[in-house]
Structure formats: structure tokens, C-alpha cells
Amino acid sequence: RDDSISLIKQAMRELMIDEKRFEPKKVLGTISRLKGDNLTLNDFRETAGKEFYPSIVARVWERYQNLVTKASGFDFDDLLLESVRLLKRESAILHTYRQRFRYLLVDEYQDTNAIQYELATMLAAPANNLSVVGDVDQSIYSWRGADFENLLRFEKDFPGAKVVLLEENYRSTQTILTAANQVIEKNKNRHDKKLFTKNRAGELITLATSLSEIAEADYIATTAKNLIKNGAKPDEIAVLYRANFQSRALEEGMLRHNVPYQVLGTRFFERKEVKDLMAYLKAALNAADYASLVRASGAPARGIGKVTLAKIAAGERASLTGATASKVTELYQALDKIKLAIETKSTSEAVKLALQISGLESKLKKGSEEEVERYENLRELVTLATKYDHLPAPEGIIALLEEVALSSEQDSLNEKKEGVKLMTVHAAKGLEFDYVFITGLEQDLFPHAGFNPSTGRAGEKDRDEEEERRLFYVAITRARHKVYLTYAQTRALYGSRSVTVPSEFIFDIADDLIEATEHHSEDLPNGGKSYLPDVFI
């Protein structure tokens, strides 16, 4: 993968395409997805037309493929794509491999894409001695190109195929499995099955209601701490969330109660987009902070190169002319506006304005799903900033910058592999734990509202609703002994606190499987309200 990204970057340099504007990893991911859909470059060109981003991808794809060929190599996707082309072209080779592999077994069949499906069916013919193992209810990777229809239509593709339902579960208690069955049975695109176990019925599922996301994190941290005190291993406790931005409050809760934890993925303050926005704040406050200026100049890309930045560092800004001078002036004007906001506005308002003035908001909110997730993380940073709104300007921003610096330092000092695991539900696929917390069970968060890149608005029906339900099914079946479902009655998003609606998934589970509790800690800062004004939207 690293070699492929290096070649993508080389192709973009040769084509003079700014990799700060078009992220190489994203371009490679698009090409990979298209190859997985069994599309050639010429196929893609016919469908892409004259649209801007697809035309960029097509140009990079062509140059990238030339570089791969020049190196006498294949990337991972080519190994599949070229194998299928070879077998289609050379019947003798296809016959040889069909004779060599008389019986085929494919695992995780619900996650196969178009090219993998074609390869498997080609090799299996004509004898069709093909066995596949899969679970449509755990198909959660459509955004990677996985097509669970491959599994659903298996009996049509291979008439007479024998279907064996593996319904006995050896991991979870019957209580957990009954709840999982009740949730997933509402999906229509699936094979009908019901999980059961010979294990004990087990404990009821705990549903914990908290006043806010801060109180929710407090409940999770204190409960995990008590579990550990009573003999549970920290590594056998998992805290799952739907969106990455949720990790910030959860991490704070763990730190507040001295609970050892490990984030699977990137910690909140180490995320690129968070560092980018912090760079604008630091550069605006301190004109001598060259490192922050350099970072800000490239996020988003402004066409300001290394030579220009070197001249600025040498105090030769006045020597800049033409378009270069205009770009630099625009950057400094943005920093001046941010500085004014820092000196005159509340902390959260200043961060919100920095997000807008920097151009990060307009770039991310209408981008890919990954970019929208980054935008959500920056909105969470605005929420964090409300903690310092009681301080006069610019003390609040300075305090925020200090917290970020100290948190990063503490993360380095406390780098441990053991601890409660914090991760997205997607990252939890294939894992299992004794105790599982499923957090943020609020409508439009889990299930996620989705985000329409063309309008920049959330809540539009652009996400597969059944996949959201499958995602919850995966989450609840990670647990061996006990499941905790948590939600906040109010949640702070982008500096405003709104009343939430409990997730529909909660109501899918029968009342006799649930024990309800409420958690409104009085020991939390500002009563668990995260210093937000009592404004409900």
C-alpha cells in the first residue's frame, strides 16, 4: 500500500496536480474501488465524462498504471483484476487452474466485491464445487466496495446449493443473542436466522441515560473502573462509538477517573484536521510561529510553496510579487481576522470563526465521507472550546492551546498497550470482549443521519439504513457476558446543545431484556453540561 501511494504521488507530481488539494490516499482509494468493481480505465472514462474530480482521477490512474507497468509490477487490485482478465483470455490456463483447485472455500463472502465474485465463480465452474461462508447481517463495508448481494443471490447463481444455517453461538449469553435477533430481524435483505446458545441466560442489558455526553463518559469510566476493581481485565472491556468525534469526551472521562485506556485509531488531538485548525489559532496569536504558519498555509492548499515560505521566514515577504504575493496576502488577512476573533469573541465562537475563515469548513463539509468525518471532529473541537467560554478573551484560547499541548504530552507519557479499548464499531468487527459499552445511541448519531456532500446537510437519506442496523448488530454481538447501552439526553454539537431522541435500536429490544438506570453526576464540571449555554435547537 505504501509503494502504491508513493507511485500515486509521483504520478501527481508529473502531472502537476497539487497533492494537498487532491489527497493521494483518497485518489488511490477511488482507483482501488473502481478496480474492485471490475472497471477498466477506459470504462471509467466513458462514465466519468467531463466531471472535474473523475477527470483528475482518470489522468492520475493512467500515469500511475504506466509507472506500475514500468516497474514490472502489480498493485493488490491488479492481482485480482489481471488474473480475471488472464483467465478470460486464456482458456487453457483457466482449465489448468480449474483442475488444480477442484474445491473452493471462500470465507467472509458477504464482503466480496465484483472482481472477487467473478474470480471465484470462474474458477468454480463447471463443477461448481464451491463453499462460501458469510453472514449478511455482518455486512458493514459497502463503502469499501463490498456487495452482500453476492451472498444473497448464491442460491440463484448455483441452483441446488445446500444452505447450512450456523445459528448456534458459542460467545455470548442468550440475553445478548435475543436482543441481537430482535434488532436485526427488521432488516428485509437477509437470510432468516435466529442465534441461540447453550450458554447461560446471563445478565440483563443495562440501558444508561445521562444528561450529557460528559455525564455519559463519566458513567462509562466509573462503571469500567468498578468492573476492573471487581476483577475484570481492562483489555476485556470495550467502548464502541459510531463516529470518531465521540472519542474526545470518552477519553476525557477515562483520564478524569484514572482508568487505563487505549484508543484503536488516532487520538482526538493527534488527528490531522485538529492539528490544522490549531495551527491557525497558534499562527494568529504568534506571528513568529513559523511551523504553525507553514501548516496553516497548506490546509487547505493555497498554492504557497516551500520557496515562498522560506522567503517569509527570512523576512523577505515584501519581495513577493504577482499571484504569489496575492496568495500570501490572503493567508495573512485570514490570520488577522482569526486574531481579531480570538481577542474579541468567546473561545468557542473564535474557534468556530477560525474553522470558517481558514477554509477548512467549506473544503471538508462537502467532501467525501472521510472528509465529512474530519469536519465532524472539528465541530467537536468547537464544542470542547465552550469549556473556556467563561474566560475573557484571549485567555480562553490560550487555555485551550495549553490543554491540547498537555494532552498530547500526557498521551506520549502514558503510552500503554493495556487498558479499556476505545474504538469505532467498524474497527471492532471480528473482535470480542467480556464487557461492551455501545455509546451515543441517539437518532441521527447511531443510526447515523448520513451526510449529503452535494448539499452539505446532514439527515438526508443517503445512507443505507439496513447497514446501520447491521452495524448495531455487529456491536452488540462483540460481547461475551454483558452489554451496556448508553445515550445522552442532550448532546453538544458545534457549540450548541440540543435535545436528542433515543436511538430506534433501543426500542427494538424487549423491555424484559433491559434494566434501565440514570446517571446525572453532580461531581462533573458544570454539572456535566460541558459549559454550554442552555440553548436547545
Q: What is the C-alpha separation between 156 and 377, in angstroms, rounded? A: 44
Cβ contacts of residue 282 below 8 Å, gap of 6+? 289, 292, 401
What pLDDT does 365 receive? Answer: 84
Q: What is the Cα Rg of the chain in Å?
A: 26
What pLDDT does 537 receive? Answer: 31
Q: What is the C-alpha separation between 337 and 370, in angstroms, rounded? A: 28
What pLDDT does 257 receive? Answer: 95
Q: What is the C-alpha separation between 537 and 531, in angstroms, rounded? A: 16
What is the pTM for the complete model shown? 0.77
Tell me the residue type at 423.
M
Q: What is the C-alpha separation between 171 and 177, in angstroms, rounded? A: 10
What pLDDT does 533 receive? Answer: 39
| Per-residue DSSP letter, 353 | H
SS (H, E, C) 392-457: CCCHHHHHHHHHHHHHHHHHHHCCCCCCEEEEEHHHHCCCCEEEEEECCCECEECCECCEECCCCE
What pLDDT does 460 receive? Answer: 43
For the chain, the distance separating the N- and C-terminal CA atoms, rounded to the nearest angstrom, is 44
Tell me the residue type at 118.
E
- What cell does 42 get? 477506459
* Domains 174-260+417-518 and 270-413 equal at CATH topology level: no
Class of domain 1-79: mainly alpha
Contact 213, 249 (CB under 8 A): yes
- Of the candidates 20, 67, 16, which has an alpha carbon nearest to the alpha carbon of residue 31? 67
Low-confidence ranges of the chain (pLDDT < 50): 412-413, 451-462, 527-537
What pLDDT does 1 receive? Answer: 67
Tens of pLDDT, residue by residue over 222-266, are 999 999 999 999 999 999 999 999 999 999 999 999 999 999 877
Give DSSP secondary structure letters for 243-301.
SGGGHHHHHHHHHHTT--EEESS--GGGSHHHHHHHHHHHHHH-TT-HHHHHHHHBTTB
What pLDDT does 20 receive? Answer: 74
Give DSSP secondary structure letters for 296-327.
HHBTTB-S--HHHHHHHHTT-GGG--HHHHHH
- Of the candidates 433, 413, 415, 414, which has an alpha carbon nearest to the alpha carbon of residue 423? 433
Domain residue extents for the chain: 1-79, 90-157, 174-260+417-518, 270-413
- Of the candidates 270, 299, 453, which has an alpha carbon nearest to the alpha carbon of residue 372? 453
Tens of pLDDT, residue by residue over 359-405, are 999 988 877 778 888 899 999 999 989 989 999 999 999 999 988 87
CATH of 270-413, one of 1.10.486.10, 3.30.870.10, 3.40.50.2300, 1.10.4080.10: 1.10.486.10
* 3-state SS class at 516: strand
* 3-state SS class at 522: coil
Q: What is the C-alpha separation between 1 and 127, in angstroms, rounded? A: 36
What backbone torsions phi and psi does residue 416 show, to the nearest 5 degrees? -130, 150
Give DSSP secondary structure letters for 88-107.
HH-HHHHHHHHHH--SEEES
Give DSSP secondary structure letters for 35-90.
HHTT--HHHHHHHHTT-HHHHHHHHHHHHHHHHHHHTT---HHHHHHHHHHHHHH-
Q: Is 322 exposed, middle or buried (0-12, 13-18, 19+ CB in 10 A)?
A: exposed
CATH fold of the domain at 174-260+417-518: Rossmann fold (3.40.50)
